[in-house]
Amino acid sequence: MSSEPSPEPSPEPPAGDAYDWFRRGTALLEDGHPAAAAELLGWAASREPDAASIREAWARALFDAHRYEESVREFTVLLALAPDDDYAQFGLGLALWRLRRFPQAANHLAAAVTMRPDRPEYAQALRQVRATLAARDDAGLDPSGQPDERLS
């Protein structure tokens, strides 16, 4: 499945090739520079759109750069490339959680927990989202995280 990344990277590519951009981007991500990493990894994904490792790193960089909508998009593409990827389910669940899409987040986090019950961070995130859903239900709030029009 080829999917062009969006938004389009800046017009002039940086020096190197897709593998070099991937290596440099993941190093930047590990060093705590997610915005810079996202730029390089976006270039890598534009050249290698079906590379799951590039998509995962790009989705992580976008998430860490607080670009949650774009992170959702990339984790979704990653799941299309690798439907059995537990980390993609987890990352998608976290990004949806940040966007206050609690029911969707719970579904993806539950899938991650089912795939990898040995990962405590997956179970912890799922418990937190389910607690949020329960609290919203108890308060009579919309579970989707959207403002309840009755309260406006």
Task: List the chain domain ranges.
Answer: 16-67, 84-142
C-alpha pair distances (Å), 70 with each of 15, 51, 132, 146: 24, 17, 23, 19
Q: What is d(CA 52, CA 85) in angstroms, rounded to the nearest whole number?
A: 10
The 3-class secondary structure across 108-128, one letter per residue, is HHHHHHHHCCCCHHHHHHHHH
Burial 99-117 (b: 16+ CB within 10 A, else e): eebbebbbbbbbbbbebee
Contact 106, 132 (CB under 8 A): no
Q: Tokens for 30, please give them.
A: 């590990």
Q: Dmax of the chain from CA atoms?
A: 55
> Each residue of 94-131: pLDDT tens digit?
999 999 999 999 999 999 999 999 999 999 999 999 99
DSSP state of 12: S
The pLDDT score that the predictor gives to residue 97 is 97
DSSP state of 43: H
> Each residue of 29-74: pLDDT tens digit?
999 999 999 999 999 999 999 999 999 999 999 999 999 999 999 9
The pLDDT score that the predictor gives to residue 112 is 98
Contact 101, 68 (CB under 8 A): no
